[in-house]
Structure 1
Amino acid sequence: MELSSSSTLLFLLVVLFGAAAQESPRLPAAEQEAAYAALESINSGVDWRFLYPDDLCLSGPHGLLCDLFSDPSDNSGAVPHIVELNFGFVSDFSSNPPCGPNASISPVLLSAASSFPFLRKLFYYNCFAAARSPLPIRPWSLPASLEELVLIQNPSLVGRIPPSVGDLPRLRRLVVSGTGVSGTIPDEIGALPDLEQLLLSRSRFRGPVPSGLGRCSALKILDLSANRLSGRVPAELGRLARLVKLDLSSNRISGPIPARLSRLEFLDLSNNRLTGGVPTALGEMRGLKEVYLSGNPGVGGRIPEIWEGLGGILGIGMSGLGLTGNIPGSMGVFLGNLCYLALDNNLLEGELPDQLKRLEASAKEINLANNSLAGRIPFSAGFVDRMRRCNKTEIPHPVLFSLFSSSSSSSSSSTTPGDNNILLGSNAALGILAFVVLRHFGL
């Protein structure tokens, strides 16, 4: 009797689970077919239909995510739809569908407004590294629901970003980094009210930095580094009240260094064609953590007395700016958290101020080489010896900016944190301690 009761209970459970499975809402057939087409476009060598024959929302590949949506006009209940498509193997912890050597972007994705009407994220990582893969010329028709469009480390991806990218009202993150994408940056990006991160780095964009970007009131990160951009930094960027990171390094940008960027924490304008001196307005950026201006020989002028309110700065790169005059003692007085200071390859002269000795508490690298400095070094012999023995792995590199990981400073090795040393080569005589330093580092 007991066995019979157990068997009956098991039978009822099977029936109930079977009925529930039959009643479970399914991914619409058209969306399922579009997903198969997208998977086949990234790797035609995989039989995706064989591997995943069932509802892709119930048993699909790792990078395909779904969510339930209700239709107020339909009483049939919530229906699953695809909200994320992530392609390209990133790591064992994020095993997205791998891309093949002949991967391409399926037309169904760039007409996703009809194919994937609820899509929030489209992500490609290292998918287009072999065969040349052009972006479609026609305007993109992406769903208004899209929040993230990310194309990272795809060197064989070529073409242009169309103006229609500005028709995505919910887009928060646009990343085109490490690609062969070229042309001008569409001014229409300025029409994106929710855009928080714009990373168009290490590609082949040319022309000016669009002034329309000043309309992206939610923007926090702007990284256009390592392209072929020219012209001046538009004054409209000063309107970006939430901007915390600006990286325009390694371009052909000219004119003065922008002054109205009061909320910044990270500023990298290195390796451009800037002029006009180091602006005193840097002193108004009270939240600044890192500033890299190196590799702009036309900047010139003196190091301004702006450091009193900048005690939070961790890294300063001002190599090769054509700076003249003395090193201000106020840098030692107020920069109590400084890890990295590069003032090499300038025209600085005079004695090192005694106040620089205060940097011993935090500094990991100080580079003053190739100037016309004279006198004694204010640093203690113990500090010099610690710098000599310091291991690279003991300090961050680059210095510290880690609020967002999608991008890092692209300054050259001579202007960003590197070997943990005091470098004083090619200066005038700096007394007996200078001899110790020069000897320690073979200069």
Structure 2
Amino acid sequence: MYVRRVPISSHYSDRTPRSGVPHAPRTRRAAALASTAFALSLLTVPAAMPAHADEKNPADAAKEPKPPAQMSTVGGAQLGRPGTQVNLRKGAPELPTKLSARSWVVSDAESGQVLASHNAHWRLPPASTLKMLFADTVLPKLPSDREHKVLPSDLEGMGEGSSLVGVKEGESYSVHDLWRGVFLRSGNDAVHVLAAMNGGVDKTVEEMNEKARALTANDTKVVSPDGYDRPGQVSSAYDLTLFARAGLQNKDFREYAATASAKFPGETKKKDGKTKRESFQIQNTNRLLTGDVGIDPYPGIAGVKNGSTTNAGNTFTGVAQRGDRVLLVTVMHPDGEEPHGVYKETARLLDWGFDAAGKVEPVGELAAPSSAGGGGGTPKDGEAGGSSHAAARTDSKPSGGAGMAVGITAGVLVLLGLVAYGVHRRWPLPDLARRHRR
């Protein structure tokens, strides 16, 4: 079993102790005794004390919100406990030390096993990672070649400072173009147009909440379909992982999530008596997919969604493959002290997950949708609702083979069966060399 280490803070200040009450002035004698004790301690304490980059000032730590003492136990009782949960076997690698996120989950995308977690069911603002649930709900309902002319009402209700792809009133867009705007640029304008095509924001929010319940994502409450900060809008690292896993079964979802850059339609303009509509280049804001200053693309990454708002901080869910193993990692709200911290912490957890696979006892598992496996009902707290063993029993005639990832080379698609869904569906996970750059 893993025992959490409690680091000794290197930023201790006697001005603001952990209790928050200033120390009383010391007498000279007390000060002298303290100095003598410190000098003696140097003779007994090793000189090379490790300094951890993730240590925090106790006063700052006291201001951090605390996870509930009891959380949902969907997926397993251990996932309902606050703090880091991991069961290391002999020879298993230790978890990364530089982790500041309030919540995170590392899971195997095929088996559904949760390899490790930290406050997995803590209900937090999700930011634009909630767009994965929006896509799970709306994407299958709208044909990709359907065209829509944008009305002024389609763009109403967007929050101030929303991320935009550049949708213009009076212009027509295909559903395919709008989904690129959602996935690549996290465009709230594209979300609102698609919601209008789906019957409106209110209807879409209602359907998203219903979809969350169907996916056993009971930590989630949707108020705005784009993930913009709204009172009461929450999700969890566990639920966001469920949304990504469900979406990756859809080939269009996979394509959009893995697209690094694309052309997006611009405005129609008249020039020299001719009417012409230009297009402009958009790039995916997922930095583990495209790279950025100080961060390289992660090997084998194939999506899925990042987000950032004032209340949520930075959030991210990523999927990547190494060999025959595919992992999903969700990270919510790192402390912000490290540039691109949400991506770097995700990369560290992916590295750990690939190294630890087969060397840890799972701390839980990802629940299957309530309609999968012949169960019908939503699992209760404490029930996994979708174990790979139960799924295997209910599906005696799997389609598409053994449900294993089969090979990955440049230009080759990987086929993966999601065993825990009770149906051995196979979906391609493109490697980085096959990113769409149209």
Query: Please, what TM-score do these two structures have when normalized by structure 2?
Result: 0.21
If you compute each CA radius of gyration, which structure gives the higher value, 1 or 2?
A: 1
Identify, as 1 or 2, the structure richer in helix: 2
Higher relative contact order (CA 8 A, sep 6+): 2
